[in-house]
Amino acid sequence: MDHTNIVIFRSSTARDVFPKDEVYLQQLSRIGAGQRVIFKTVDNLAEMIRKFEMFDLPDKSMAHFIIQAHGNPYGFTIGQDTINMDSTPRLWKQLRDFFVHEVQRKLTPNGSVFIHACSSALEPQSIANVLSRLLPHHIFYGATDIILMDDLQIIPSDRTIIAYQVSEEKNRSGYRIVTLKGGHELIQEEERQYEAALRASLRSQQQQRQEADRLRRQQQEERLAIAESLRIQKQKQEADRLRRQQQEDRLAIAESRRFQKQKQEADRLRRQKQEAERFRRQRQEQIPSYD
């Protein structure tokens, strides 16, 4: 997969309370570098669900999902639809099923969700908290009070790519953007524990890489040592072969010389015998005959 996606749905009745589209999308594109940003304005919940399905996103390809709407602690308004967990059970069931069956399937393992609506995470039964419990393995962001225009800052996150904080200069009401998982706020201590676990994991990965590099170098050295041992053994075998060959050559030369010497001695004895026989015949010829 070449990239992942950031998907944003904005209620058609909330355009006046959110940052201008161009500025907001530029911020998201800059912070979520490498992500494809998909932005749509919708008039009702059914249109949002239909357009989401029309995107035909691959499973586990959505890094961040945002709903921008007017909100209250127990729901929000998307165009003509006001979705409330108690008073609009049909719409709430549609939204709940949409998150459980569609949003959850498309989110990456560390994908996150921002319910960008006023008071969406004010208390344990607020809509961001409840949706967070439906998707317990993903981070949700929500607001504890009324969100004022342009006071929200988008910041990078090692955990979820994108996170949020409220500008201290513009935050006159003292509200917060809370981070939820499984319906519970991740407090600072949990964040520190997560960061410590992340650092430990990175150290472990680094140690594993170092150990793998050490084993690879050791295996390479062992292969070189084996190759050198085979080379020395081959040299020794060749030296032994040459030594045996030289010894055989010396024995062959000695045998040749011995045979030559025996032949010379046999020739000398033969000539000596021939000379004695010749001398004997000459003596016989010189003796007078009295017949």
Q: Could you report the per-residue pLDDT of 60-78, keeping only the tens digit for each?
A: 999 999 999 999 888 999 9
Q: CA-CA distance, 44 to 269, in Å (whole number)?
A: 134
pLDDT band at 192 (very low <50, low <70, confident <90, very high): low
Q: Report whether pLDDT(282) > 90.
A: no
Q: What's the pLDDT at 101?
A: 95
Model confidence at 1, pLDDT cuts 50, 70, 90, reads very low
Task: Tell me: pLDDT of 54 over 90.
Answer: yes
Chain-centre distance for alpha carbon 51: 33
- How far is residue 91's CA from residue 126's CA, in Å, rounded to a whole number? 16
Q: Cβ distance 179 to 132 under 8 Å?
A: no
Mean pLDDT computed over 241-251? 90
Of 110-124, 152-166, 182-196, give the lowest mean pLDDT range.
182-196
191 pLDDT higher than 60: no
Residue 112 has a pLDDT of 92
Nearest to 50 by CA among 65, 60, 64, 40: 40
Helix H or strand E encompassing 161: strand 161-166
Domain-wise residue ranges, the chain: 4-186, 187-281
Q: Is the dihedral of CA 49, 26, 142, 136 positive or negative?
A: positive
89-132: pLDDT as tens digits? 999 999 999 999 999 999 999 899 999 998 999 888 899 999 99
How far apart, in whole angstroms, are the C-alpha atoms of residue 84 and residue 16? 22
* pLDDT-based confidence at residue 151 (cuts at 50, 70, 90): confident
Q: Kindly tell me if the per-residue pLDDT of 193 is higher than 70.
A: no
CATH 1.10.3470, domain 4-186, yes or no = no
pLDDT for 15-42, tens place per residue?
A: 777 766 666 677 776 766 678 889 999 9
pLDDT at 195: 57
* C-alpha distances in Å from residue 147, one per residue of 21, 60, 122, 157, 177: 17, 30, 12, 21, 9
CB 75 within 8 A of CB 142: no
Average pLDDT over every residue of 212-220: 90
The pLDDT value recorded for residue 19 is: 62
Q: Residue 189 — pLDDT band, cuts 50, 70, 90?
A: very low
